[in-house]
Structure 1
């Protein structure tokens, strides 16, 4: 290390050059949002869905545009304008199909063949009442193209699959321009492209907000503690440089920032602050003690640097435990955050220490070598130490009771997660999502894949009868709406052959009638038929939308539907399997608990191994783990007590708490071990630990606490939850380290 710091000027220069390069690369930083990021990787249902979309395409390639109009949409001028808007929609970028109530027709069989009757006679206002009555009788377009109160109409756009952020923005910009040109000021949007744009824009805002707010917070904490301009500048610049290098590295590696990216500035700034405060505090203390700069830095790194390295490793392990998550978004966040922790450590050790060595100590030390602030800190830490020595039994009993409360809280955890919980309150995306929830069939897609067996084909009458059983069952389930299948085409033709009467919108009872309709459909509706049936007619689909009523409710709905399929359909003719993006999102929630437990156990084992290597004492290992398991239990208990559903993004709380909470314990025990190695007895070592490390623990945890509280002002509701849980549990971890840890050292170590 001496040889390295001999080149301190070169080290500073290298880091500054890297910082400039990293800053230039930020322009290439990519942002991304896609529900597929939360699909359970490797799951058999995901494999099935990927095969399914090869035949039928994705189920989220749509954009719904709902336009509202005063008390009723049945007003001639409005209908004409909306019709013009609808018919020109196919010219929008990336749009492949468009559909609205003004562009669809009822087929009618006459002696002259099939004719088309408009659903709405736009040019004749005297027929509006009859048109609306007919629409209500059929029910086919209610909650899909028009709401039950006839106060809004929907233009349904089908888009190309997999549009990226820039393509989504291009489409939405064009749609909004057309809406303005037609005078439609009151409209609502729903669909993947709208989510993509809104949530990526939110990510960018959140990244800027958290960076600025966390920087100001760190500055405030450093100012209150050190009151020396150069100390604050060196620490803050080092931490911001670490963040810049990390983001630049992500850019160079081609990483895409997901919805969890808003945590990066807080994590890097706060973890970096923890590293720099521990090293700087010890270094400045040794300078005040009269040591020369080089010797002071060597001793600081020997006594605190090892602990800082270990805390960085354990924090990285905590984040890396998220690799067990089946969600690529969560696992990617885990590995990136772990990388960021290492970048922060390397920056602090080499850059910060080099700058400190280059800076004259008169700019670093207070004029009063033994300031009143330092005395207050020493007295406060000594007071806490005396308290732990006088009241060990109450502390142990309190910890036991606290554990019991936490265990009870864990039993209250639920997984009744809703998609709308992820949206910022009172935002355009939240309001539009709620509008479609209340007035239409919602967003969550549901697909039922139908695969024929043996020699049966989808176009066989017997298979259509089996499909109809499932269709009617789905229509009878309240949260499931807008159910469509290939049978919809047969029902439409049957209705057309019976004077367009609504009572005949059913599957024909006779097979020969069914087969005659089939010929008509393949002749006149090939495009619609192809949307439901694959090329060799061995697979078909039933499509629907499911209201966002909560994961627990939806799970019961799916279980009931699967039970009906298993008991009421003939599996020798066809099999039915629920699939789609909604199913995969829901299924991922059930993996959260398992992957969370697996990841934390793996992290616990790795941290335990590090503790054994550091302390070479099994009792110290046990002592170190107990105060760090309780914060995890407390975080889980808060989920239960606050009725916060456990879902993929919330699971990062436990990795953050586990990875960071153990840092204080390592610093405390590391300093305790140094005291013992210097010939002190147990009580003297504990007293020295409180005096020399207690202040740094309080400073860093306070910074962590306030830093994560910044997330309470986030627009992203899961971020608010994570900020609250992490800040409170880290504060709890500090209290346990200062109160419970000394008691355990006295009780368990002889």
Structure 2
């Protein structure tokens, strides 16, 4: 045994060294959040949007700061403080443009040329009432820079494209400091930088919180199970080390952790715990039967190691099925989680095994051996399956029917607000802009001139105006602007600034005259809406968060209107933008989910056939592992939880982990048959020896994922709840249905 003793020491030293190295890499972990991670890959609309961005820039490079003043913003002290803040905002880092009602003005055409009039006469309080009436008459700034009740005003900042987390933090720090300096306490912020800060901060908090709570939970359960502190410490050390090594690999790899990162600690802890329990349970039983430590570990690894390897591989395959998703964030989660599962297995086999043989027998064993009650209860379940097979099969059919019914109720009408931290500042601010302004979701519509027309031709401009008139009738759309806006403003300026003239000119000659003025005086404003060669224009606005399915109908109606009501020989219209691409996810979730699970079942089926050398074993294992996936889908339907990108990981996790119990059960059964036991004797031994480990690991899995209920992220709560109850369902199916299927499909020779 000297060589085993040497191997043991090498393993312990190696893993401790790797753990220290991994810990040194943790400060390099990066957290990020980018909507583009949820864009469907290899999609025509995504390719079009990339070209659109090259022409006009991104559509989320804005930051809105709404400042409240009750009962009205038209109060001298407030307006002066607001204006001072608005002026200061022009000098903030990463800000390219700042606009507010106190910084903008109306153009006015006089006999001497164009001049300007202030929208709000800040220094003349007697003019406030007239200013407010004028703002309401124009309706140009209502629900964009001021709410319809006049109780809040907005400073709208345009920022550099694609700000990162550090840049966003610096900008927001400057904004908050300036708001405090100017005594503006009631404010709300909305925009990319604020979302990035809030989501990344949530991710960091969630990773830490879930790690601590899950570790405490696992510790308590292991203490209750083994009643041996040294044994529990070995288990916790192994599980914690596997998590540390995994996070170190991500840091070394330079991976940026996204919103899915909160699942990694829970996954590593519970997957590692499952491996530890199966190895340790087998080792302890052999020690109790009088085997020497090295003999016991060799025997345990030969018996349980293979099935544990198989379960790790199948769990990893479950996660790898997420590669079928078109969403980069889901693909990365699948790859990272699969790597984590393999890291946990390697750590448990080599590090846990080395630690187990390092302690004397009396230290390893707790005060109590495995209670006979466990065996009695498990054998009673086996007896129940023997005398009530028809009832179990009938119950399975009814259960499957209920699952299919629940799945038929699943919707994809997902609201963006569900991704925000519960009861957080950002959720509150999101609600404020939803109620008082035009919402958060950007709407982008590309208008492309056809047949040698230009979007700055009068005929094309009038087609664009028809589309604008239609868009104004859609309740969920607001804050609309287009390439026609500069022409309308000049038309009003040439007619004594009367609100009735905030319209398109009635003839082409006037339009051409305004075009020359705009190119001379308002080129920058025009470039926001028209590309260099005049072949494309943009219409932008804001959308209410009414759900992805409802918004997809809005997009379809817009494009249908353009096809049927506009002159398609002059223009082509296409809805684009980040919001539309995010909403398009739902088209791919179902198809990629089914595709991924099909490939996963195929791969795992091949593994099962190769390991068990029996095709019937594959069929037997298939049913108890498909039903939990169907149950997970039905829970979404019955609880009216819309399916969205992050929830697709539920099925990979359930599929990958649920099959573990089946493999351990069938592996123990096959071992019993190979040892010359009859079918009933093999089933009894399987229940007595493996059943306990299955129940314990499921309990840990259940409470481990229930940790997600402490999250402030609604999708995480939903995922934790669904996985927890589904894995319990998987255990029940394994214990009740597997014995029945074995007896029905495998006849003794």
Residue 295 of structure 1 deviates from its aligned partner by 1.4
Residue 668 of structure 1 deviates from its aligned partner by 0.2
Identify which of 393, 396, 400 aligns with 2:393.
Answer: 396
1:300 matched residue in structure 2: 300
- Determine if the alignment matches structure 1 residue 614 to structure 2 residue 616: no
Q: Give deviations 1:181-229, integer Å, cap 9, x for gaps.
A: 0111110000000000000000000000000000001001100000101
2:196 matched residue in structure 1: 196
Identify which of 472, 479, 483 aligns with 2:480.
Answer: 483
1:81 matched residue in structure 2: 81
- Determine if the alignment matches structure 1 residue 440 to structure 2 residue 437: yes
1:690 matched residue in structure 2: 687
Residue 4 of structure 1 deviates from its aligned partner by 6.5
Residue 424 of structure 1 deviates from its aligned partner by 1.8
Q: Give deviations 1:78-106, integer Å, cap 9, x for gaps.
A: 00110111012110010000000111111
C-alpha distance in 2, partners of 1:284/1:56? 67
Corresponding residue SS for 2:690: helix
- Determine if the alignment matches structure 1 residue 669 to structure 2 residue 669: no
2:291 matched residue in structure 1: 291
2:257 matched residue in structure 1: 257
Corresponding residue SS for 1:448: strand
C-alpha distance in 2, partners of 1:6/1:614? 32
- Determine if the alignment matches structure 1 residue 101 to structure 2 residue 98: no
2:282 matched residue in structure 1: 282
Identify which of 534, 539, 548 aligns with 2:536.
Answer: 539
More deviation, 62-71/453-462:
453-462
C-alpha distance in 2, partners of 1:367/1:73? 73
1:702 matched residue in structure 2: 699
Corresponding residue SS for 1:344: helix
Corresponding residue SS for 2:115: strand
C-alpha distance in 2, partners of 1:472/1:34? 33
C-alpha distance in 1, partners of 2:519/2:4? 78
- Determine if the alignment matches structure 1 residue 717 to structure 2 residue 714: yes
C-alpha distance in 2, partners of 1:426/1:295? 56
CA contact (8 A) 2:81 2:184 kept: no
2:61 matched residue in structure 1: 61
- Determine if the alignment matches structure 1 residue 247 to structure 2 residue 286: no
C-alpha distance in 2, partners of 1:710/1:522? 60
Q: Give deviations 1:305-342, integer Å, cap 9, x for gaps.
A: 11000000000010111111111111100100000000
Rate the CA distance shift 1:3–1:654 in 2: closer, same or farther, 3 A: farther
Identify which of 401, 405, 412 aligns with 1:415.
Answer: 412
Corresponding residue SS for 2:246: helix
Corresponding residue SS for 1:537: coil
Corresponding residue SS for 2:64: strand
Residue 366 of structure 1 deviates from its aligned partner by 2.9
Q: Give deviations 1:135-184, integer Å, cap 9, x for gaps.
A: 11110000000001111000000000111000000000000000000111
Alignment of 1:406-555 (within 5 A): 406-555=403-552
1:728 matched residue in structure 2: 725
- Determine if the alignment matches structure 1 residue 364 to structure 2 residue 361: no
C-alpha distance in 1, partners of 2:374/2:517? 88
2:43 matched residue in structure 1: 43
C-alpha distance in 2, partners of 1:4/1:651? 44
1:231 matched residue in structure 2: 231
- Determine if the alignment matches structure 1 residue 269 to structure 2 residue 269: yes
2:330 matched residue in structure 1: 330
C-alpha distance in 1, partners of 2:378/2:679? 17
1:387 matched residue in structure 2: 384
C-alpha distance in 2, partners of 1:696/1:5? 28
C-alpha distance in 2, partners of 1:721/1:281? 32
CA contact (8 A) 2:109 2:496 kept: yes
Identify which of 575, 584, 587 aligns with 2:584.
Answer: 587
C-alpha distance in 1, partners of 2:240/2:734? 29
C-alpha distance in 2, partners of 1:719/1:93? 34
Number of matched pairs:
747
C-alpha distance in 1, partners of 2:608/2:499? 74
Corresponding residue SS for 1:571: coil
C-alpha distance in 1, partners of 2:104/2:42? 41
C-alpha distance in 2, partners of 1:142/1:187? 18
Corresponding residue SS for 2:528: helix
1:376 matched residue in structure 2: 373
2:214 matched residue in structure 1: 214
What is the TM-score of this pair, normalised by structure 1? 0.99
Alignment of 1:10-159 (within 5 A): 10-159=10-159
C-alpha distance in 2, partners of 1:459/1:509? 15
- Determine if the alignment matches structure 1 residue 317 to structure 2 residue 317: yes
Q: Give deviations 1:392-440, integer Å, cap 9, x for gaps.
A: 1111111110000000000000011010011122110100000000000
C-alpha distance in 2, partners of 1:74/1:189? 21
C-alpha distance in 1, partners of 2:414/2:87? 38
CA contact (8 A) 2:227 2:367 kept: no
Residue 454 of structure 1 deviates from its aligned partner by 2.3
Corresponding residue SS for 2:584: helix
C-alpha distance in 1, partners of 2:269/2:262? 12
Corresponding residue SS for 2:452: coil
Corresponding residue SS for 1:482: strand
Rate the CA distance shift 1:140–1:294 in 2: closer, same or farther, 3 A: same
C-alpha distance in 2, partners of 1:299/1:236? 23
Residue 6 of structure 1 deviates from its aligned partner by 4.3
CA RMSD of aligned residues (A): 1.1
Residue 12 of structure 1 deviates from its aligned partner by 0.5
C-alpha distance in 1, partners of 2:367/2:211? 33
